Amino acid sequence: MAHSTVPTPTRPTTSDSIAQALSVAIHEHKIAPGTKLGEDELAEIYGVSRTVVRAALQTLAHMKLVDIRRNRGASVASPSIKEAHEVFEARELLEPRTARSAAKYATSSDIALLERHISDEHAALDAADPGRALYLSGLFHTEIARIAQQATIAGFIDTLIARSSLIIALYWRRESALCEKHAHHALVQALAKKDEQQAEELMRSHLVDLHSALDLRERNGRTQSLKDALSQ
Amino acid sequence: MAHSTVPTPTRPTTSDSIAQALSVAIHEHKIAPGTKLGEDELAEIYGVSRTVVRAALQTLAHMKLVDIRRNRGASVASPSIKEAHEVFEARELLEPRTARSAAKYATSSDIALLERHISDEHAALDAADPGRALYLSGLFHTEIARIAQQATIAGFIDTLIARSSLIIALYWRRESALCEKHAHHALVQALAKKDEQQAEELMRSHLVDLHSALDLRERNGRTQSLKDALSQ
DNA sequence: CAAACAGGCATTGTATACAACTTTGTGTCC
DNA sequence: GGACACAAAGTTGTATACAATGCCTGTTTG
């Protein structure tokens, strides 16, 4: 789970570790939406048989990170505009409540962990590695869900964040560059103060900001599906 | 997807249809929590190879319907008391909002479909098939999520309802026999009237009723884990 | 007699082989 | 010259074979 992403040369790789590696690579925008994920290709990369690769791909398909079509194989999912709205609406429903819960349960070590996440994120941004920054930004939300001690909802949020990464890859508009910066920091402060109301409200506005920073207008001339066709 | 549940004699069975058949069987309480699901056993039942069965089991594991432990095989999940609380808390967070949305979008044919679901459910109860009634009751909630036109959240609700079926199998207390009866009917009326507020409130109270109809106190002497040990 | 170890048995994890389907390229016919 | 048809290549779906792990039982020893 360190820096190694796609290669992961030799290990007692179970299918889950391959799924994890692919997931991180997608999170970091090292693999673009629509990219074909051939079974033989992955099997050779990871030094395992197609059996294991198929299991990993199935796991990712369940999170909606990859699309598997019968006899057509797997490719990185490219969420539609409707799906993008749905994902962020779901996040706006789940995460504010989760942030409130996190404010109730957060310990001082949790706060410290979150602050390290933020500084890692900034470091990645300074290192001109926006993909990694995005991945860490997602981990921040995942971590809050974990702190809230609702494993079930945390699982849902995990998949929503994963899909958000794909959505951002497809629909992010550069104009809204400095989107959050200190939004996460303010949230951590609310958690540290155990201010449930503020944590909930900060999370809600943070997500609304993210949602509105996407360009989710239908492209003229179906540029979208053309792009998909090209990337396949 | 008709009445046939476990056997499903011969068909171009893909792994998904096997997962579906097992899912229905679990929903209908034909397979108890903790039951071992051997790969060879299922492969013979459905007339396919273990490869296909494994894929189906993996799908069910993603929904938390079965537990897969490495080198130990798969068995029907038996949610802990903590998980039971989490599942119903998640439902109480998601479904009222979904019911509100459903009230907005419900068409007359949707209403008719829901009413048929209710009468089917009552018919199953009259036929002394409480398992099937429970399955249909779950379908009712699934259907509302579909009507709400939020596929993402609907997917979450599907897995929550599936897990609820396991929770009810484990923790239902007979005392609270006539739990709902007309709760679903009242909900449909609110949807038909497009009364969003009432639909949301009815769903919330319905779920609170369900939640409180469970016996989620810790058993004395760990009866729970003993039962698990026996059923394995 | 109880506890612990060892061996056999059963089941799962992984790899490979084969079958089926999709796709792509070529050829022929209109 | 274009369109349809067929064939070949490559990829996925499924089955089977083998390896590895865990479980159970029978024996042995303190």
**Three-state DSSP class for B66?**
strand
Is A150 in Cβ contact with B160 (below 8 Å)? Answer: no
pLDDT score recorded for residue B219: 67
Segment A115-128 shows an average pLDDT of: 91
Return the ∠ at Cα B138 (arms to B134 and B144), rounded to 5°. 150
How far does chain A reach from its first CA to its final CA, in angstroms?
29
pLDDT score recorded for residue B3: 36
B93-110 pLDDT, tens digit each = 999 999 999 999 999 999
Tell me the two tokens of residue A141.
Answer: 């939300």
Residue among B24, B45, B31, B16 at smallest CA distance from B75: B31
| Torsion sign (Cα): B173, B178, B181, B186 | negative
Protein-contacted positions of strand C (CB under 7 Å) = 11-17, 21-23
Whether pLDDT at B17 is above 90: yes
Whether pLDDT at B11 is above 90: no
Share of chain A above pLDDT 90, in %: 76
Task: State the burial class of residue B24 (Cβ atoms within 10 Å of its Cβ: 0-12, 13-18, 19+).
Answer: buried
B15 CB near a chain A CB, below 8 Å?
A: no
φ, ψ for residue A79, nearest 5 deg: -60, 145
Distance (Å) from the C-alpha of residue A124 to the closest C-alpha of chain B?
Answer: 31
pLDDT score recorded for residue B179: 60
B39: Cβ contacts below 8 Å, ≥ 6 apart: B50, B53, B54, B57, B73, B74
**Three-state DSSP class for A176?**
coil
A62 CB near a chain B CB, below 8 Å?
A: yes
Nearest by CB to A86, which of B83, B87, B150? B150
Share of chain B above pLDDT 90, in %: 76
User: Residue B88: closest CA among chain A residues belongs to which residue?
Assistant: A152
In the β-sheet with B36-37, what is the strand arrangement from edge to edge?
Answer: B36-37, B73-76, B66-69
pLDDT score recorded for residue B13: 73
Q: What is the total residue count of chain A?
A: 232
The helix (H) or strand (E) run that includes residue B43 is helix B39-46
Give Dmax over CA atoms of chain B in angstroms: 54
Q: Are B153 and B141 in contact (CB under 8 A)?
A: no
Q: Are B154 and B146 in contact (CB under 8 A)?
A: yes
User: So where are chain B's domains?
Assistant: 15-76, 81-212
Q: pLDDT averaged over chain B?
A: 88
Specify the higher pLDDT residue, A177 or B127: B127
Q: CATH for A81-212?
A: 1.20.120.530
Specify the higher pLDDT residue, B231 or B170: B170
User: Residue A91: closest CA among chain B residues belongs to which residue?
Assistant: B153
Specify the higher pLDDT residue, A230 or A106: A106
Interface of A with B in 137-156 (CB under 8 A): 150-153, 156
For residues A57 and A25, give the distance between their C-alpha atoms in angstroms, rounded to a whole number: 14
Q: Are A202 and A186 in contact (CB under 8 A)?
A: yes
Segment A110-133 shows an average pLDDT of: 92
pLDDT score recorded for residue A218: 76
pLDDT score recorded for residue A215: 87
Q: pLDDT averaged over chain A?
A: 88
Segment B176-197 shows an average pLDDT of: 86
Whether pLDDT at B4 is above 70: no
Residues in chain B closer than 8 A to A83 (CB atoms) = 151-152
pLDDT score recorded for residue A6: 37
Quick count: other Cβ atoms within 10 Å of Cβ A83? 17
CATH architecture assigned to A15-76: Orthogonal Bundle (1.10)
pLDDT score recorded for residue A83: 96
Whether pLDDT at B73 is above 80: yes
